[in-house]
Structure 1
Amino acid sequence: MFLTFLLLCSALLHAQDIPPKNETNLPKTTQDDTLTVILKPVIDEVNEKAQDTVKTDTIKPEKETLTDVVDYYGEDYVLLNRKENKVYMYNKAYIIYGDMRIDAGLIILDYNKNEVYAKGIDSAGVYSQRPVFVQANNKVEPDSIRYNFDTEKALVYNSRTEQNGFRVIADVTKKVNDSVVYLRNVKFTTSKNIDDPEYYFYTRKAKFVPKKKVVTGLTNMYIADVPTPVGLPFAYFPLTEDRTSGFIIPSFGDNNSRGFFFQNGGYYFAISEYLDLSLLGDYYTNGSYALRGETSYALRYKFKGNVSARFEKLVEEERGFPNFSETSIYNIRWSHSQDTKSSPSSRFSASVNIGSSKYFSQSINQTNNASALVNTLSSSISYSKSFEGEPQVNLSVAATHSQNTNTEAISMSLPNLNTSVSRIYPFAPKDGVKKGIIQNINFQYDLSAENRIQTTDSLFFKSEMFNSAQIGAQHNIPVTTNFKILKYLSASAGTNFRETWVLKSTRQRYDQAINNGLGGIVKDTVSGFESYRTYNFSTSLGTTLYGLFNFGKNNKIQAVRHVVRPSISYNINPAFDRYYDEFIIPETANEAAGEVVEYSRFENTLYGPPNKVYSSSIGMSLSNTFEAKVRDRDTTAVEPKKVTLLNNLNFSTAYNLAGDSLNWSPLQFTGSIPIVPKLDFNFSGSLDPYALDNNNQKIDVFNIDNGGSLFRLTNANVSINYSFSSKDFDGSGKKDLDRTENETFRNGGRPDDLFGDATDIYDGQIYKEDDEDVDKTNIAWYNYKIPWDMRLAYTITYGNSQRQNEISSQSLMVSTNMELAPRWTVGVSSGYDFKNKGVTLTQFRFQRDLESWQMSFNWTPIGSINTAWYFFIGIKSSVLSDIKYDKRRESDKQL
């Protein structure tokens, strides 16, 4: 009976299957559980109308517990407890509901309360697999968490989250909804090491609105877990992914001559994603002030640029005192670049740097020594357009500006026009292969027109600057051809026709009535159209010769090749004396007869007068290059290494056939000798074949005939520039940095630190925020490998044109930087003037990367313009960039 009972039960019963992972175990409804009742409707003819009416059910159906699919998983097990109506997931568990996801070591899903509880796994005293709560773009990493599906509220313990560069650590976090989160015992920091931050802001209570703001109560700053006196009764931290407008906190201090001040305070306008604007200002209690505005704009794949305008009112001493002075200086910069792919046939660019000549040396808010050494300010705004076709026409319109900060002289071309037509070969065959003199004849057309203004700094932007404006245009039509002679000689010949237009000319006359009756020459400027035409002829002949010297493959130097490129040219420039006029100075007591003065009405015009003297000259040049094949040190190399021994050793001179004396021109020479990679020895000079008389004036006697050598070395120059680093010796190479946005470079100076470097006083950024992929928390010392770099610049100039036989200038500039430790960098820029026997501008730099902070100290103890120091310490993150301290001592501008 017992066996029969087991057999019957085994036929009627079956075991419950274990639910597969990642699937929700909900009871299924089968056909057997459904009771179906079919009722035949009874229709009454009287109540037929009432039976056809369907009434709306007034009882609302009960809202479903979960409105979305719940997906959950556990690595070790997923346990469904039907009695408690809970689901337990253990080890690498997760649960997904809508846009919410929780990963943790242990997750408990409670269907009674519609809640989920997650925490980590505590094994042998090690708490691992902490919960990770992600909803939309928000991510929280707490110790444990409770989340309600109905209210979408959450209670988080010991949470860690990041919002727009902020890292937030809170003991208890209560998520009310998607917009509001309350926190208790909160730490705010930008440190990468969230478990042990080197600094943080601590508050007991805070309200957190994701992607908008954080509002706190009493907030205190901690450094290395030590509270500091820095505290606020409340704090407001804006959190936005996009740029937002806001105030820029100024820095405070005092100055010996101007009193107390605040600097670089103002407002930032986030106008749009393509444009922004910063307005900053300084104020000193003695009345000095400065205003600065800067805007940046960019349109992807189109163009980008920035504009800045700076104005300063400088007041020295106090009103009523003898040394009181009041001056105004300004500077305007504009940089614009266009993407080459946006418009291949047209291009617009701008590089503007104009202002007061003394701005960089007198500015009250300028700590850049290299900018103060800039001697020339230059600007250029240009637009070019190419018209495709045959021939192609190129058009460009530009405005240029050049300003000497020492002499305060300004030269402007406002505007200038250049138009050219590409070369036209009228006799070229249709197949495109040109041979001989006739087929290679070509001509083109060039037009250049200009309105040039010469003025000074004091008259800039005033009506007087336009009084001396000169307007003119030149038309050029060159006709050239080239051909071969005896297969190896390349010959060319050409002529050029030029027509010059001016709108102002000069008339000269002698007036006896001026200078109290003594008489004098009067120059009158006459407005009106004038023109003159000139032409010339030139021809040249050249070839290339190769000399090869083989020494055998067994020698270290296997072969030497000498490349010689001689050329000779002939030029004729006719005399155009018909464009010259004459007037007579009457006879005086000292002059028996009147003096005839010859002048051209085109003197002092834009392009000057035409040639008055006929010239016919022969020019000669010789170019040399020496190269060698050297056995490679690498034994696996198949081919020898090519080395340049002497690069472009050039000689050039000319002989004037039409001259009556001093026919030979000085022999000019230039060359470059490569010493090591990236180090070239550049030299140039001039050799004069004629001798000097006792008054050191050149005479028509060869120097060798006067008891001297064949040539006199009249001037020479040698320059060496070398830049190298430790990476050049370990084989890793060095990546060139793009420093076009460097403040010194934008001011017109060098982009490197050869004349010193400085922290930008507007933001103080030296080190950028650490890369997320780079862990700098445990960096070992360098031991014997210390990264370094060095730049050298040496120049010497020799002069002996009048037997002075002296070194006119000789200087050596050195700049080096060294990383003593992974976060310590020291640098120095200095030099020595051998002519004046003194140390040139010297700067010492000390920079420290303090992980979340940065510190720098720049000191200039020696300098002809600036001797000052500048100290800065602040937070790297742009979110808290206003938390900083800077102090500097300005140089005495009067000295």
Structure 2
Amino acid sequence: MHLRAAALLFCLHCMSSFAGAQVDSIPPVVAFTGSTAAYRVSPDSLDAAVDYQARDSMDVDLVNQRIHLYGAARVNYQQISLEADYITLDYGTNVVRAEPYPDSAGVLVGDPLFSDGGQEFTAKSLEYNFKSKKGIVRETVTTQDEIFIRGGKSKFVSGAIQSNDSTRSDVIYTEGAIFTSCSLEHPHFGVRTQRAKIVPNKLAIIGPSNLEIMGVPTPLWLPFGFFPLKSGRSSGLLFPSDYQYSPQWGFGFQGIGWFFPLGEHVNLTATGDIYLNGTYTINLASSYRRRYKYSGNASFSYRRLRDETPISEGLEEDISKGISINWTHRQDPRAHPTFTFGGSINFQTDLVDQRFINTYDAASKNVIRSSMNLTKTFPKLKSTLTAGLNHSQNNQTREISVNFPDARFQTQTIYPLRNLPGSQRKWYKKLAVRYGNQLRTEFEGLDTSFFTAQTLTNARYGFQQDASASLSLNVLKYFNVSPSMNYSEVYYGKTLDYFLDTTTIRTTEALDEDGNPFLDTTDFATIEELLNPGLASFRNFSAAVSVSTQLFGKILFGRRRGIFGLKGLRHVLKPSASLSYQPDNRDATDFISGLPYFISQAQIDPERGDAERFVTPFAGQLFGQPTRTEGNLGINYSLSNLFEAKVYSRKDSTDKIVKLFQNIGVSGRYQLSADSLQWSPISVNGSTRFFKGLSQVSLRAQFDPYISTYNERTRQVSRVDRTTLSERGVPVQLSSFNGTISTNLTVAKFRELFQGQEEEFVTDVAEERRKRREEEATLFEETDILSLFENFSIRHTLNFRLDREIATSEVPGARDTLRFNTTANSIELRGALNLTENWSVNIGQIGYDFTSKRITYPYLSFARDLHCWEMRFSWAPQVNTYQFSIAVKPGVFDFLEVPVNQNRYDGQRQFGR
């Protein structure tokens, strides 16, 4: 029922006013001008009409001037709205009362909900005067962002204070209130206060209060306090996120600080981690975002660690300091069509993150990398320019490598003759040209001395440019012929200078056969190198013509189901050969610096240097070094093989194609310009998958048509110009054999293997449970136990190799030996398991290395959802750390936490380093 109440209220108010008025005190008349008459309006009437409605029934009591509304009742007045299952509207006093009403089972339902201009709260009972705009409520529940405010008896005033030029805010005065982030009627925790003043969406001011857990008051008291209730960003104190005790560092807390909103798009957080013995950290973190433009975050940390090392006299103080810098920037793809900028910077000194941060990820990270690049494309030039900074930091060797600036210009494949007149099928229109260049500077050093002048002195820089041209021609319908040329130039700002260091000569006094004393040299002069500045360059040129084709062969078995389900075999052979040429550069010299490309060791050390071994001034540089060739003309060949089988399928009307071997390749080279050792070693490699991709096998072998011998003078193994066919009666001999077998078992692959096809499975058990509860309002029952293990994977890796060890003895009949080695054999388990709706277990990584016979990097954790609290435990025995905490879930009260931790330093002192 929905009635417009303006006319009814007018008549009832007039009757009430005239009945109680004296003859000589008739109130002044307020006239409403209509089409036919003027009306008298009581001064006690409201300023606007009151709308009301009810789902079940409405009872009008004219004697007591009340209207009773039952079942989903609603009363609207201006911007005020009141909902409840039972509402009484007293139009004589302008008071409305609301409370829940028993349902058919006698249970009270429909608590009052009061709303005033977007500010709302619920209560067990409510009285409100439309005229004075004041009300009394009992057992109120007000929600402001993440805070639930549950009060006892409260008084509220609508529009009591001016918020801004256009709006006013309500004020609620309450007693016996509790502030909490728990949504239950009886919250698990909260701050209990006897007096509070609340301005919804603004501020809550409390008097003397204390922390209450599970209804039990704690000794934690506050004389007064305030809670900001304003939505959005505002400056404010950040409570500590963690409290710790360390035998070495003492008592401490982490994450105390202040939050600063800097403008509309940037936030800044300043926090500190403080321990009583002098260990501390200062952190600055900022995040920024511009819609449709970019977003990112940056952080800076200064860490000071005070450690005590046991010595014979007691304890020795050890102070270490360091900084860490992190910056991540992401550009929105819609920001610019041809320009992008983004990446991440991660940098630290003295391993500060590994020393301070008590997490498994930080402790086990071996390499830190950074990459920040800008890319500009030039559509008209069909080219791309990329420039930026790249950084790599090894936490084991403590070495830092920074490439800045690192810029590269690269064109797309350009067809310069394509626009000439004539058919597009002309061979010369397929000419393709590419050009690129790169500029790079590299700084290297240890993290403890990187920011020193020595790092600048040892810096290396260079420039490289290369150009290539190629054609792709179809000859005799089945052959692809591709001639190509490549030319490159490399320029370096520093080169190596080699010299003989005589300071390493060591002599001792000895006696000859006749007993005469002489000086015996035990250590000789060594060849050393020195990096000197000076522009130098070298060039490379190569040309090649390649020919390739494909050959197909198949065998079919005539029966409908074949032989034991095998209906046929198919073999695809892809042979290719190329004739390549490189000019002789053994005596090449740089025309800029005059440096030879190669220097014989005999020139540096005439007495002991090997004339057949060469060094180059360009060794160890950014773009590599020249390769010493003597007019290199040769033929490269390769054979790629694919084997497939057609298998009869009972479940499907079509036959299945199974790849027996995905690839078996044979490759090598024949050197036409060489006068000896013309055949290169032959490489054979292959790979395939078993059990529908569960296991992958990769094999690689190398066969040599020549024998190898041990040189006593140089103490090295080298190939000699004697074939295995003439020496041992076989065309080739095995030099090395490498194999890798890797297995990755997941539930999805397990299903695919044993069920014949990939089935649908639950990827997020928690989300699936939530959907089932919403749809059926019943408890979720797990119908597929494998869904619990969807996030688990078991990985096994086996690497092995077989090497030929050349006999070093000159004794006749000495034979080579083949030695088998297992380089890696490990199994690893990762995954997360939701035992119940509230219990979850995470295995970050646990495994066993069969080669070293030890457990590898175990890391375990579990979590228990306690509604508004959360219990967590993590353990990393590899670094002797653990973390246990019972804490309020992230939000306003997440500073309430009971942590028990052990950092790496305490673990090392307890269990040994």
> Normalising to structure 1: TM-score of the pair?
0.80
Matched residue type, 1:144:
S
For 1:294 and 1:592, the matched residues in 2 are separated by 61
Within 5 Å, give how 1:146-545 maps onto structure 2: 146-177=127-158, 178-192=169-183, 194-250=184-240, 251-317=242-308, 321=314, 323-356=316-349, 358-361=351-354, 363-368=355-360, 370-389=361-380, 391-429=381-419, 434-505=424-495, 527-545=533-551
Task: Please say if 1:574 is aligned against 2:571.
Answer: no
The aligned counterpart of 2:83 is 103
For 1:62 and 1:665, the matched residues in 2 are separated by 113
For 2:613 and 2:718, the matched residues in 1 are separated by 27
Residue 213 of structure 1, CA deviation: 2.8
2:126 to 122, 128, 145: 145
For 2:262 and 2:156, the matched residues in 1 are separated by 33
Residue 671 of structure 1, CA deviation: 4.3
* Structure 2 residue matching 1:292: 3-state secondary structure: strand
For 1:520 and 1:89, the matched residues in 2 are separated by 105
The aligned counterpart of 1:890 is 903
The aligned counterpart of 1:679 is 694
Matched residue type, 2:893:
L
For 1:456 and 1:68, the matched residues in 2 are separated by 79
For 2:664 and 2:46, the matched residues in 1 are separated by 87
Instruction: Indicate conservation of the 8 Å contact 1:424/1:443, yes or no.
Output: yes
Task: Report the more deviating stretch, 781-790 or 442-451.
Answer: 781-790
For 2:138 and 2:427, the matched residues in 1 are separated by 92
2:668 to 626, 639, 653: 653
Task: Report the more deviating stretch, 640-649 or 819-828.
Answer: 640-649
CA deviations 1:469-506 (Å, max 9, x no partner) are: 22221221211110112212222111012223333345
The aligned counterpart of 2:761 is 733
2:830 to 815, 818, 827: 815
Q: Give the direction of change, closer, same or farther, for the CA distance of 1:627–1:196 in structure 2 (3 Å limit).
A: farther
Task: Report the more deviating stretch, 609-618 or 553-562.
Answer: 553-562
For 2:143 and 2:254, the matched residues in 1 are separated by 32
CA deviations 1:767-806 (Å, max 9, x no partner) are: 9xx9999699985675983712322232233242534422
Residue 842 of structure 1, CA deviation: 1.9
The aligned counterpart of 1:845 is 861
The aligned counterpart of 1:716 is 738
For 1:398 and 1:209, the matched residues in 2 are separated by 52
* Structure 1 residue matching 2:287: 3-state secondary structure: strand
Instruction: Indicate conservation of the 8 Å contact 1:506/1:603, yes or no.
Output: yes
For 2:345 and 2:193, the matched residues in 1 are separated by 49
The aligned counterpart of 2:107 is 126
The aligned counterpart of 1:879 is 892
Task: Please say if 1:835 is aligned against 2:841.
Answer: no
Residue 710 of structure 1, CA deviation: 4.3
Instruction: Indicate conservation of the 8 Å contact 2:744/2:796, yes or no.
Output: no
Matched residue type, 2:120:
K
For 1:401 and 1:345, the matched residues in 2 are separated by 25
CA deviations 1:172-195 (Å, max 9, x no partner) are: 232123332122333433334x33
Q: Give the direction of change, closer, same or farther, for the CA distance of 1:717–1:134 in structure 2 (3 Å limit).
A: farther
Q: Give the direction of change, closer, same or farther, for the CA distance of 1:575–1:736 in structure 2 (3 Å limit).
A: farther
How many residues end up aligned between the 2 structures?
808
For 2:749 and 2:130, the matched residues in 1 are separated by 58
* Structure 2 residue matching 1:26: 3-state secondary structure: helix
Instruction: Indicate conservation of the 8 Å contact 1:721/1:791, yes or no.
Output: no
Q: Give the direction of change, closer, same or farther, for the CA distance of 1:186–1:777 in structure 2 (3 Å limit).
A: farther
The aligned counterpart of 2:35 is none
Matched residue type, 1:733:
F
Q: Give the direction of change, closer, same or farther, for the CA distance of 1:595–1:662 in structure 2 (3 Å limit).
A: closer
Residue 364 of structure 1, CA deviation: 2.7
Q: Give the direction of change, closer, same or farther, for the CA distance of 1:628–1:595 in structure 2 (3 Å limit).
A: closer
The aligned counterpart of 1:117 is 97
Instruction: Indicate conservation of the 8 Å contact 2:249/2:279, yes or no.
Output: yes
Unaligned runs of 5+ in 1: 1-19, 31-60, 738-765
Q: Give the direction of change, closer, same or farther, for the CA distance of 1:735–1:654 in structure 2 (3 Å limit).
A: farther
For 2:678 and 2:177, the matched residues in 1 are separated by 89
Matched residue type, 1:658:
S
* Structure 1 residue matching 2:2: 3-state secondary structure: coil
Task: Report the more deviating stretch, 499-508 or 436-445.
Answer: 499-508
Task: Please say if 1:619 is aligned against 2:636.
Answer: yes
Instruction: Indicate conservation of the 8 Å contact 1:276/1:296, yes or no.
Output: yes
CA deviations 1:246-292 (Å, max 9, x no partner) are: 22333333222233333332223233442222223223333222222
For 1:345 and 1:259, the matched residues in 2 are separated by 55
For 2:695 and 2:175, the matched residues in 1 are separated by 66
For 1:173 and 1:588, the matched residues in 2 are separated by 97
Q: Give the direction of change, closer, same or farther, for the CA distance of 1:139–1:610 in structure 2 (3 Å limit).
A: same
Instruction: Indicate conservation of the 8 Å contact 1:338/1:348, yes or no.
Output: yes
Task: Report the more deviating stretch, 451-460 or 527-536.
Answer: 527-536
Residue 706 of structure 1, CA deviation: 3.3
For 2:529 and 2:110, the matched residues in 1 are separated by 95
For 1:688 and 1:594, the matched residues in 2 are separated by 29
Matched residue type, 2:67:
V
* Structure 1 residue matching 2:427: 3-state secondary structure: helix
Unaligned runs of 5+ in 2: 12-40, 159-168, 508-523, 590-594, 752-757, 806-817
1:699 to 702, 706, 719: 719
Q: Give the direction of change, closer, same or farther, for the CA distance of 1:398–1:86 in structure 2 (3 Å limit).
A: same
For 2:778 and 2:690, the matched residues in 1 are separated by 41
Residue 94 of structure 1, CA deviation: 1.2
Percent sequence identity is 25
Matched residue type, 2:869:
W
Matched residue type, 2:761:
G
CA deviations 1:827-848 (Å, max 9, x no partner) are: 4432111112122222332221
